[in-house]
Amino acid sequence: MPTDIVMPRLSDSMEEGTILRWIKSQGDEVAVGDELVEIETDKANMVYESDAAGTVIEILAGEGDTLPIGETIARVGEPGETGGDGAAPKAEPKPEKEGEEPQAEPERENQAEEPRAPAATAEAPAVPSAPPGDGRVKASPLARRIARERGLDLSGISGSGPGGRIIKADVEQAAEAPPVEAAAPPAPTPGVRERPETAKGDVETIELTKVQQTIARRMAESKATAPHFYLEAEVDMSRAVEGRGRIKAAAKDGDVVPSFNDMVVKGAALALREFPRANGAYRDGRVEQYSRINVGVAVAAQDALIVPTVFDADAKGLREIAAETRALAQRVREGQITPPELSGGTFTVSNLGMYGITNFSAVINPPQAAILAVGSIVERPVVRDGEITTAHLMPLNLACDHRILYGADGAQLLARIRELLEEPLALAL
């Protein structure tokens, strides 16, 4: 019996996924742990590894299809086994790659290529480009891009790929076909003016990715359900700047030099030890407090904001945190971050100081109790012991959920973070 491959749950908040790319094709051999398909989830694009071994005997979801968790996307079994409809499936061509010509069908690979006939025969009925009633044109990403570049409407193109899917060859054939002479536009009705262009000019509608849709939904829910209040403090980072300078000067090739954000992550984690209520969440009228202190670090990815997790940040040294955050950020930008690395966060740090932002307020990452926003370090004049001098000042803004933390709770937490950053030796203890 074949084994069903279903849409996996790749994150704790995932409800559905979109097939981006099939790595294995119909008829390919696959082993347990082989990369099978790339899926777009609500947090990132992730590669799913097969949990079954055998031959891919049927692919049920095409690239671009969105399916709920648990829906069958493919079947793996022994060669010659039948699919779910009791009929032996036909071999599916490998996905097209840019710059490659579509592969010929096996039974015709030694024959001269003939032009496609516009009319379908009785033995090979024409296949619609999309199942009736779903309103979606099934096409490969490469076919969509070529059609967009050449100004072609995919709804008027018949697909020759598996399941009526439009492939590169279909779009190129449609582009080479002579244009159909358009009917003359009707004469304007006297006294009726054409609709003028809007003051905003041309309007382009951009579809959100699954990640962007999830961010939009969660941030809207956070602001609508979590009563935010904000606390601000300014940290004198002069000793931290001096200490990091010494570390950088003494570093050898290949050594990881902790950033100021790594210091903030460590300082926040140590402060959360002393104020465990802030290391919690609000759920169903109750406050949960967690024993592990896992700090999420916001990373700007392609058109999205991804928050990987530094687990047990309070127990790790600065260099270890630095190495881990760099590796996590790199995997986010390369699209190789894994579901476990995006889960389990109990507190979040968001830093925009590298963009010259002096201060900002962040939205709490639900259901966490708080998020710390960090601005840029600026050398400014200050008064000390009655004399004017300079100091490297860094703004902090703590957003708190008032259902979990009250004003004094948040103020004490923020004050402790400031104390730890102003005396950086404490971060090494």
- Given CA atoms 28, 30, 34, 36 in this order, what sign does their dihedral have? positive
Please say whether the beta carbons of 30 and 50 come within 8 A.
Answer: yes
Smallest CA-to-CA distance from 267 within 427, 397, 399, 114 is with 427
Let me know if 228 is a catalytic residue.
no
Compute the distance between CA of residue 17 and CA of residue 141 in angstroms, rounded to an integer: 16
Three-point CA angle 68, 73, 78, nearest 5°: 150
Where would I find the H helices in 59-186?
141-150, 168-176
CB contact set of 115 (below 8 Å; sequence gap of 6+): none
Concatenated DSSP letters for 377-395?
-EEEEEEETTEEEEEEEEE
Residue with tokens 């002393």: 274
Q: Which of 144, 239, 402, 403 is catalytic?
A: 402
Write the burial class of residue 138 (CB in 10 Å: 0-12 exposed, 13-18 middle, 19+ buried).
buried
Q: Which active-site residues does the annotation give?
A: 402
